[in-house]
Amino acid sequence: MNPLWTALAISMMTTLVHAAETVKPTNYVGNADQGKAKSVACAACHGADGNSPSSAYPKLAGQHASYLASTLTAYRDGSRVNAIMQGMAAALSDEDISDLAAYYMIQAVTPGAVEADLLARGEQLYRFGDSEKGISACAACHGPTGLGVASARFPALQGQWAAYTESQLSAFRKSARANVMMNGVTKNMSDDDIRAVSSYVGGLR
């Protein structure tokens, strides 16, 4: 990677720690066995083990507990808007959230596969970005294999449904989903760019 882009990537990671969705539950350490029992209500959309049966809903398996807990808390307090999830999270206690996060974190995500015709562009964007278009490399924050960074609440992306990732990147680009850094990262991405990188992360493992 060009040294300038390496420096920018490091700067971006530092900034994103503060700019990402920053709601902090009081406790991230949960009981996975309790989480399994509490996950029954989530299974219809997200699958019994966190591998959703439909790309309309994200896979939760293997996701960092810190990110899951932060996201559920954001739904509960309304800082992240989704009618279904706000209803589901409304009655959750901090303990419930921690338990659910602990359960889904230890589940194995089912692998996906990148579309062959999108591989080259998707890999370029994910690993190196596109300096001419002002697009930062996804790997700077989400890691070379899409594992993310638990301590910074950068979510794991590997194996995620391509269609779900595409919908979220499009929402960031339109500012329908608010996140200062991701809104900036996606603003110069075309529909084809979003589709390519979404397919690529789905095939990471």
Distance CA 45, CA 127 (A): 31
pTM (predicted TM-score)? 0.86
Per-residue pLDDT of 176-200, as tens digits, reads 999 999 999 999 999 999 999 999 9
CA-based Rg of the chain, rounded to a whole angstrom?
A: 16
∠ CA 193-153-119 to the nearest 5 degrees? 25
Q: From the CB of residue 186, how many other CB atoms can be counted at a distance below 10 Å?
A: 23
pLDDT at 29: 79
* Sequence-ordered list of residues with C-beta below 8 angstroms from that of 169, at least 6 positions apart, any chain: 182, 186, 189, 194, 197, 198
Amino acid at site 94:
D
Q: What is the 3-state secondary structure (H, E, C) of 142-167?
A: HCCCCCCECCCCECCCCCCCHHHHHH
- Position 15 pLDDT exceeds 60: no
Q: Is the pLDDT of residue 121 over 50?
A: yes
pLDDT digits (tens, 9 = 90+) for 71-96: 999 999 999 999 999 999 999 999 99
The CATH fold of domain 3-17+111-202: Cytochrome Bc1 Complex; Chain D, domain 2 (1.10.760)
CATH 1.10.760.10 region(s) of the chain? 3-17+111-202, 22-105
Gap between the Cα atoms of 11 and 189, Å rounded: 20
CATH number for 22-105: choose from 1.10.10.1100, 1.10.3720.10, 1.10.760.10, 3.40.50.261.
Answer: 1.10.760.10
Is the pLDDT at 1 greater than 90? The verdict is: no
How many CB atoms within 10 Å of residue 73? 22
